[in-house]
Amino acid sequence: MKVLLLGPPGSGKSTQAQRLSRKLSYFQVSTGNLIRAHIQSDTELGRSIKGRHDRGELVPDDVILEITLPNLEPAGRWILDGFPRNQAQARALHEALEKRGISLSRVIALEAPDGELIERIKGRRQSLATGWTYHLEHDPPPKKRDDLDAGPFVPREDDTAEAVRRQLEIYHQEVEPLKQHYEKQGILTVVDARKPIPEVTEDILQALRPARAD
């Protein structure tokens, strides 16, 4: 299974990718986490993209490809979160997978109104230990630090109101058209992200069952 999650910021892509990876024993490939890891580690690549990232702007395609493609193992079972984010990246992903003799099994598109997404993001927290994403109300981080995730749990640097509005604008312009692209391939399922987190997870699992049976 090769699964792709699409959705605007705040729709729960990372949360659902985390839950699905645990339930299905799939490898989660989060471009956002990969980017933030480079920034936090102060690598040369991280320094070159920090300004763009903090302003909520898209990271250049060649950088995204450089950090993402090595994680998409042909024999692996993975869930890709945060990539592709435009038509050029979708083509690059298709070409890279085709060279490996594989293709996407299912594309899940999470949907919710912009106003609700902006409110959600106010409560979003990320673990500096694991990169996992939580929400203070809907999916709170562990109250006690443990071996699974010791935290600390902090707001993301790109979760400012201005950055989120910019991210949503970019999403509608660049990412949302990809739904039609994958719908034409017959592998798209749209899921209502306004539901409680466990219900969204179950809806995604339901969408994956036919492909999992192949």
Q: Is 9 inside a domain boundary?
A: yes
Domain count, the chain: 1
> How many whole angstroms separate alpha carbon 155 and alpha carbon 135?
10
**pTM (2 decimals)?**
0.77
Q: Is 50 inside a domain boundary?
A: yes
Location of structure tokens 């302003």: 55
Q: How many CB atoms are closer than 10 A to CB 6?
A: 26
User: In CATH, what number is assigned to the domain containing residue 109?
Assistant: 3.40.50.300
- Provide long-range contacts, Cβ within 8 A and 24+ apart, for 85-88: 85/58, 85/170, 85/174, 85/175, 86/58, 86/61, 86/174, 86/175, 86/178, 87/174, 87/177, 87/178, 87/181, 88/61
pLDDT of the chain, 214 residues: tens digit per residue: 899 999 998 898 988 998 999 999 999 998 888 888 888 888 888 888 888 877 777 788 888 888 888 888 877 899 999 889 888 889 989 998 998 888 999 999 999 999 888 888 888 888 888 888 888 888 888 877 656 788 889 888 777 777 788 889 988 998 899 999 999 999 999 999 999 999 999 999 999 986 444 4
Q: How many CB atoms are closer than 10 A to CB 95?
A: 9
| Phi, then psi, of 203 in degrees rounded to 5 | -60, -40
Q: Is 125 inside a domain boundary?
A: no
Q: Is 105 inside a domain boundary?
A: yes
Hey, CA dihedral for 109, 121, 79, 32, is it positive or negative? positive
Containing 117, the helix (H) or strand (E) segment is helix 114-122
Starting at the edge strand found earlier in the chain, the sheet holding 124-127 runs 133-135, 124-127, 153-154
128, 209 contact by CB (below 8 A) = no
Give the model's pLDDT for residue 186: 94
Q: Is 190 inside a domain boundary?
A: yes
**Nearest in space to 154 (alpha carbons), one of 136, 171, 139:** 136
Domain residues for the domain of 206 are: 2-113+174-213
Give Cα separations from 79 to 29, 63, 181 (angstroms).
6, 20, 19
Q: Is 92 inside a domain boundary?
A: yes
Q: Is 85 inside a domain boundary?
A: yes
Q: Is 185 inside a domain boundary?
A: yes
